[in-house]
Structure 1
Amino acid sequence: MRSAGQSNPSQRHAEKIFTGAPRLVGVLLCWAMSLFVANEALASDSERLLDQRVHAFLVEHTRELGRDVEINIHPGAARLGECRDPQPFLTNPEQRLYGRVSVGVRCDSKTSQTRYLQAEVSVLVDHVVTARDIEAGSRIGPADVKLVEGRLERLPRHALLDIDDALGLSAARPLRAGSLLQTHHLRRERLVTRGSKVTVLARGNGFSVRREAKALDHGSLGEAVRLSIEGGDHLRAIVTGRGRLEVAF
């Protein structure tokens, strides 16, 4: 007969398991925590590599756009798995490479896993503005325009970025000093009128021939115009001046 306070073997075994349980739980928690930290570090390294690849990809593709390029990559909304070998590509080869840009990333050549990221690209460029008031119909000269700096993504799509693109053209409407020049603000002077008699110079290897022709189109400097020559034959020539065109053979 057992004395009071004396436990049987099964009770002692249960007590031993019970007292050892907290230690086992602690070991399991430490192991789980170490796995979590390791996975988080692996995911962080993968995301860092992905961002680096996308950033380098955009730097390379925007190199010719301007200067002081700023790139901000937006992180994906969902936490995805490891991206072992990120290979960025443009989701639309025709898209603009400034402002908001969409970039796809293939994660592994052996799988079809693809991710899509958004990035903001800002580029500093020069653009053309008027240096003084210009009346409608006035021909643009070097003193009428100047270059100023601006962020490309904030400029209208048809803004002029080169002064040479404005010189020699005429103002389509009155322009105030400091106006940002766009293509629709300017027009080319018409140098050839449809139905008019023009002079066409044909040039070739060691020869040149000048003759009269009839213009079948209106034309400005550098534009191609259809011509009708004696005998009813047609040809195309480039406008080189008022009533003058040239064709090369």
Structure 2
Amino acid sequence: MRQPTRQRQARRRPWQPIIVALAFGLLFSGGAGATNDVLSQRVTQLLTRQAGEIGEVAGVKVHTPSAVFAHCDDPQPFLPDNGQRHYGRVSVGVHCEGPGGRRQTRYLQADVSVRVHYVTVTHDLTRGSVITRDDLRLAEGRLEKLPRDIIRDPVAIIGQVATSRLQADRPLRAYQLHPRDLVKRGQRVTVIARGPGFEVSREAEALDNGAMGEQVRVRAGDRKILRGRVIGPRRLAIDL
């Protein structure tokens, strides 16, 4: 009677290692999943806070390789100081407490989508057109899908000049505009010299074109070459 019992036990034993392995696998994957959940939450919070300064955050997708972050206790995410944008594909560093309490730094990727308003023109404009408020309107789009040099503030470009043809409903880009020249080469201009408690003005000849705030060379009556800052149409200032 004993031999059949031993045979039945022997037939059961090959399954035991498989069952044990499965149990450990479930325990391990559960721990890794919990770690990755915390990590994803903290990374999402960090990126949402940073990108929220740019526009409305439409979504954050965190890519966390389980094998890399399986043992990452108390993850502390940070953004590397590498000049990267805080939208689109973003690299995130993570400080982890590894086995034995050793501090380690690892990295992951995330995709951040930000919704913003940008400036476009209401109708086609030719090169040399001076931009007015009626020429502009705001549109909405995903920043990560737009050119990097889009213009977002319409007030800042009123009075500027189109350097190329502008098409309606296209994102307006910085390189397409230039501040209007308030001083032109060869013009007679007024140069105002300012100092503590005094102000003196004189006429001079402009040697360069210049927009508001730009530095322009002028030739005074004594042939002396000076540099002044454009402060208005045909007006420059020299701060002494």
1:20–1:235 CA distance, 2 compared to 1 (3 A) = farther
**Residue in 2 aligned with 1:141?**
132
Runs (5+) with no aligned partner, structure 1: 1-6
* Cα distance in 2 for residues equivalent to 1:108 and 1:211: 70
Runs (5+) with no aligned partner, structure 2: none
Question: Of residues 178, 184, 187 in structure 1, which corresponds to 2:178?
Answer: 187
2:203·2:220 contact (CA, 8 Å) conserved in 1? yes
Question: Of residues 59, 63, 80 in structure 2, which corresponds to 1:74?
Answer: 63
2:231·2:237 contact (CA, 8 Å) conserved in 1? yes
Question: What is the number of residues matched between the two proteins?
Answer: 238
How much identity, in percent, do the aligned residues show? 40
* Cα distance in 2 for residues equivalent to 1:77 and 1:218: 60
Matches within 5 A, 1:228-247: 236-247=227-238
Paired amino acid for 1:201: I
Measured after TM superposition, the shift of residue 99 of structure 1 is 1.5
TM, length-normalised to structure 1:
0.80
Is 1:174 aligned with 2:165? yes
* Cα distance in 2 for residues equivalent to 1:223 and 1:79: 53
Measured after TM superposition, the shift of residue 221 of structure 1 is 1.3
Measured after TM superposition, the shift of residue 226 of structure 1 is 4.5
* Cα distance in 2 for residues equivalent to 1:50 and 1:227: 61
Measured after TM superposition, the shift of residue 78 of structure 1 is 4.4
Measured after TM superposition, the shift of residue 50 of structure 1 is 1.2
Question: Of residues 119, 128, 144 in structure 2, which corresponds to 1:153?
Answer: 144
Is 1:200 aligned with 2:191? yes
Measured after TM superposition, the shift of residue 93 of structure 1 is 2.9
**Residue in 1 aligned with 2:53?**
64
Which shows bigger deviation, 23-32 or 140-149? 23-32
Measured after TM superposition, the shift of residue 139 of structure 1 is 0.8
Q: Could you say which structure has the larger radius of gyration?
A: 1
Superimposed CA distance per residue, residues 194-244 of structure 1 (whole angstroms, 9 cap, x where no aligned partner): 565432223455433323345454311122334566778776532112221
Question: Of residues 57, 63, 84 in structure 1, which corresponds to 2:73?
Answer: 84
RMSD (Å), alpha carbons: 3.0
